[in-house]
Amino acid sequence: MTIEIVEESADRLAEYGEVSISFLVQSTLRLQPLSNGLGGLILSEEEVDPPYLKDYDAYGEGPAIWADKWDVSHWATIAAFDGRRRVGGSVLAWKTPGKWMLEDRDDLVVLQDMRIDPEYRRRGIGSRLFTRAVEWAQQKECHQMKVETQNINVPACRFYAAQGCELGVINRHAYSDFPEE
């Protein structure tokens, strides 16, 4: 298998979104505040019974609508191809008014999304995409890259930790429609 990693402009978001982001939720990271949080926090992994399939794109927030929501002219898509088949990618947001995670800073980039075709997961493609994302951010003279993921995506949490990411913020009430995320 020869995977080619290429940079594309954000006008390829629709094609990018054709790669499935769905995953099987088998465990979750539960947050337990001690003394209402003043005594610290415990994050522990708990099995989910029964496991279930999660597909973020199914909620109408996927790549196909991002250009309608934000100015994506400073965004990049980094794609992974096996021959002519798109098997994954990542999307980087930069210099985007209204994108709260960017904090109106020009030296910050957000890893908006990363997805790998289920058939290609656990083959090192994600690490290559992450490395390329870091290089892209450095070329833009960014000093920080933010990543967001949910506690129900334990494999993603582990992946980002393995890439050197540090947990900076826990927002227990980020998704009113999904209070367990």
State the pLDDT at residue 115. Answer: 98
Consecutive H or E run containing 54: strand 41-54
Hunting for tokens 């100015």 — which residue is that? 71
Token pair listed for 116: 């790998």
Q: Cα(114)–Cα(95) distance, rounded to whole angstroms?
A: 19
> With 80 as the cut, is the pLDDT of residue 1 above it?
no
Cis peptide bond upstream of 51, omega within 30: no
Q: Is the pTM value of this prediction over 0.85?
A: yes
- 133-147 residue pLDDT tens: 999 999 999 999 999
Hunting for tokens 């279930």 — which residue is that? 52
State the pLDDT at residue 21. Answer: 95
**Which pLDDT band holds residue 114 (cuts at 50, 70, 90)?**
very high
- 115-171 residue pLDDT tens: 999 999 999 999 999 999 999 999 999 999 999 999 999 999 999 999 999 999 988
- List Cβ neighbours of 101 (8 Å cut-off, separation of 6 or more): 93, 110, 146, 148
